[in-house]
A and B are shown apart, each in its own frame.
Chain A
Amino acid sequence: MEKYRINPSNGMEFGLYSLGDHIENPLTGERISAQQRIKELIEASKLAEEAGIAVFGVGESHQTYFTTQAHSVVLGAIAQATSKIKISSSATVLSVSDPVRVYEDFATIDLISDGRAEIVAGRGSRVGAYHLLGVDLQDYEEIFEEKLELLKKINEEKYVTWQGEFRPPLKNAEILPQPLNGQLPIWRAVGGPPASAIKAGYMGIPMMLTTLGGPAINFKHSVDAYREAAESSGFDSKTLPIATTSLFYVADTTKEALQGMYPHINGGFQAIRGGGYPKQQFAQAPDTRDALMVGSTQQIIEKILYQYELFGMQRFMAQIDFGGVPFEKIMKNIEVIGNDIIPAIKKYTAN
């Protein structure tokens, strides 16, 4: 765990992440400018740090309704604006980038931030980046596996000699700058089903698992499969951290939480996926057993601890800004997370 800068005796980490989505606030019908959205993300990272939140992640999507295509640049600004919080991608769509460039970027962020940078590499759940940047979707599977292997190699070796299909070969290449302490924590972003979790396990790489909604127990299979695959490849799964992620909205009462979140999650899904969030399913979400993090403070604490019992993860990442959530609501969520939720979780999970 130490290799990944995680100390389990401090208890489970609580982080925030954003896809950098740029959608109108459905309650006002207005959309803030891209500039304001990016500045508010940086502002939110400062508030998160003050609230004792451990991690702040920003992801990239290259299509309409998004604004952090250059997520590493935004993370660079966050590195400068903060001093303690870990800085992560959520996720880096590695398939459309050169792993060397990605490593250079994040090693630089690591230096700016005095050793707080991490990479979460994924394939992306939207295809815009592939079309825009000219990567053939036919290679979706293979290109990611190859690039992730290379990224891992760059992280582990000072001089890299490598040959593959999707990038020119490297011969004794020294990738500079090097991160502050020689290595970066590199995670694999994994969607719900076990197939991708198993690949992460085989590779012996930490897993960031999305659990966006539905019964939390459904994701247990992916977590177990990940650990099994890691063991079968000769890794000690106890040394590999797992993070789970979910959409998140907390309010004083269940009713206020449901009323506060629904227009955003529904509008966001409508804009990005072309279909809203089913109300019936949303109505079930405050139940402890459902993975979607919506409810009162107490309900959210119970949900996270329930998942902790199920998965034994080292980190939970909350997405609190999806679907045009106005900044005052984001601030309110950060405040409750810092004041009430993190202390309760630490009490239960720290040694």
Chain B
Amino acid sequence: MKIVALAGSIIGSKTKTAMIKVREMIENKYPEHEVTLLDLADYTLDFSDGRNYFEYDGDTKYVTETIMGADAIIIGTPTFQASIPATLKNIFDLLPVSAFRDKVVSVVVTAGTAKHYLMAEQQLKPILSYMKAHIVPSYVFIEEKDFLRKEIVNDDVLFRLERLIEDTVLTSEAYEIIRAQKDEEYDF
């Protein structure tokens, strides 16, 4: 299974810290699966201009094709102006309408405070649903006080991240079985 851990901002450290932790946890627990961390701060992406994702060059092509090639995607997003950052929305805009069909997507949210704790529920999940993702229902919400010097220090958050990863992998495996059953039935 190919898993992409996406850090959806080009600024700040909390989301990046969380996604580095996610990658480490996946590598330890599921060494048989391939995990790629895409930290958008490492890339220079074009804004979506109407082309198909594979028609871009360089970083834009690499990032979008890596996402499209994944079986499961764990999206890490900070909270900017009560919403997801534009850099993450741009990723969605670059991809085709049903980009997440047959993919499992789970979510890690970071924020300064708990003021916008429903942001992912109200704004991110509708986008993922529209793009046909199988969404892992629970997400992990991590706030400023859960971090200390670029480490997650709240055990509750660490346990929840473990569960999120487990649910992401198991959900993906379950959908693989469902797909195989359907394919057998379809016979084409």
Count class of interface residues, chain A: 10 to 19
B49, B68, B96, B186 — most chain A CB neighbours (10 Å): B186
A64-84 CB mask vs B (1 if < 8 Å, else 0) is 100000000000000000000
Convert B79-113 into 0s and 1s, putting 1 for each residue whose CB lies closer than 8 angstroms to a CB of A.
Answer: 00000000000000000101101000000000000
**Which listed residue (A64, A275, A280) contacts B96, Cβ 8 A?**
A275
- Tell me if B32 is interfacial: C-beta within 8 Å of chain A: no
A283 at interface, CB cutoff 8 A = yes
In the complex, are the beta carbons of A275 and B99 less than 8 A apart? yes
Say which one of A98-106, A146-154, A255-263 lies at the interface with B. Answer: A255-263
B188 on interface, CB distance cutoff 8 Å? yes
A130 to chain B, nearest CB (A): 8
**Residue from the list A255, A259, A274 in contact with B54, Cβ < 8 A:** A274
B52 touches A274 (CB 8 A): yes
Assuming the contacts A137-B50, A274-B52, A275-B101, asked whether A255 and B68 have C-beta atoms less than 8 A apart, the reply is no
Task: Render A255-290 as a binary contact track against B, CB cut-off 8 A, 1 for contact.
Answer: 100110010000000001111001110110000000
| Residue in B closest to A275 when the chains form the complex, CB atoms | B96
Q: A127 on the interface (CB 8 Å rule)?
A: yes
B96 A273 Cβ-Cβ under 8 A? yes
Which chain A residues border B188 with CB–CB below 8 Å?
A: 255, 258-259, 262, 279, 282-283
B182 close to chain A: CB less than 8 A = yes
- Residues of A with C-beta under 8 A to B99: 275
Partner of A279, one of B51, B54, B55, B182: B182
Q: For chain B, which range describes its interface: under 10, 10 to 19, 20 to 34, or 35 or more residues?
A: 10 to 19
Chain A: CB-nearest residue to B51: A127
User: Quick one: closest A residue to B52, CB to CB?
Assistant: A274
A275 to B68, CA, bound (A): 9
B187 within 8 A of A: yes
Binding site secondary structure of chain B: loop
**Chain A min CB distance to B47 (Å):** 13
What B residues does A63 contact at CB under 8 A? 55
For residue A63, give the distance in angstroms from its CB to the closest CB of chain B: 8
Across the interface, name the chain B residue whose C-beta is closest to A140: B50
Asked whether any CB of chain A lies closer than 8 Å to the CB of B183, the reply is yes
| Bitwise interface map of B from 41 to 55 toward A, beta carbon under 8 Å scored 1, else 0 | 000000001111111
Q: State whether A278 touches B101 (Cβ < 8 A).
A: yes
**Which chain B residues lie closer than 8 Å to A282 at the CB level?**
186, 188
Q: Is the CB of B68 within 8 A of A274?
A: yes
Distance A64 CA – B52 CA, assembled complex (angstroms): 11
A274 near B53 with CB under 8 A, answer yes
B51-70 interface (Cβ within 8 A of A): 51-55, 68
Partner of A278, one of B52, B53, B98, B187: B98
B186 cross-chain contacts in A, Cβ below 8 A = 258, 279, 282-283
Contacts of B182 in A (CB 8 A): 279-280
Could you tell me the distance between the alpha carbons of A279 and B184 in the complex, rounded to whole angstroms?
11
Write the chain A residue with the least CB distance to B97: A275
**Could you tell me the distance between the alpha carbons of A131 and B55 in the complex, rounded to whole angstroms?**
11
* Cβ distance A264 to chain B, nearest Cβ, rounded Å: 11
Contact with B along A125-136 (1 / 0, CB 8 A): 001100100000
Contact with B along A87-127 (1 / 0, CB 8 A): 00000000000000000000000000000000000000001
Closest residue on chain A to residue B100 by CB atoms = A275
**Shortest beta-carbon distance from B25 to chain A in Å:** 30
Known: A278-B98, A279-B186, A282-B188. A137 touches B68 (CB 8 A): no
CB distance B98 to A127 under 8 Å?
Answer: no
- In the complex, what distance in Å separates the CA atom of A128 from the CA atom of B56? 12
A282 vs B187: C-alpha distance in the bound complex, in angstroms?
12
Query: Do A137 and B49 touch across chains, with their CB atoms under 8 A apart?
Result: yes
> Which residues 134-188 of B have a CB within 8 angstroms of A?
182-183, 186-188
Query: In the docked arrangement, what's the CA distance between A255 and B185, Å?
Result: 12
Query: Chain B residues near A128 (CB, 8 Å)?
Result: 55
Q: Enumerate chain A residues within 8 angstroms of B49, measured Cβ to Cβ.
A: 137
CA distance A280 to B183 in the complex (A): 9
Please give, as numbers and ranges, the residues of chain A lying within 8 Å of B96 by CB-CB distance. 273-275
CB-CB under 8 A from B183, the residues of chain A are 279
A259 and B187: CB pair below 8 A? yes
* 20 residue pairs A–B, Cβ–Cβ below 8 Å: A63-B55, A131-B51, A137-B50, A258-B186, A258-B187, A258-B188, A259-B188, A273-B96, A274-B53, A274-B54, A275-B68, A275-B96, A275-B98, A278-B101, A279-B182, A279-B186, A280-B182, A282-B186, A282-B188, A283-B188
Residues of A that sit less than 8 Å from B by CB: 63-64, 127-128, 131, 137, 255, 258-259, 262, 272-275, 278-280, 282-283
Beyond contacts A137-B49, A279-B183: 8 other A-B pairs, Cβ-Cβ < 8 A, are A64-B55, A128-B55, A258-B187, A259-B188, A273-B52, A274-B54, A274-B68, A283-B186
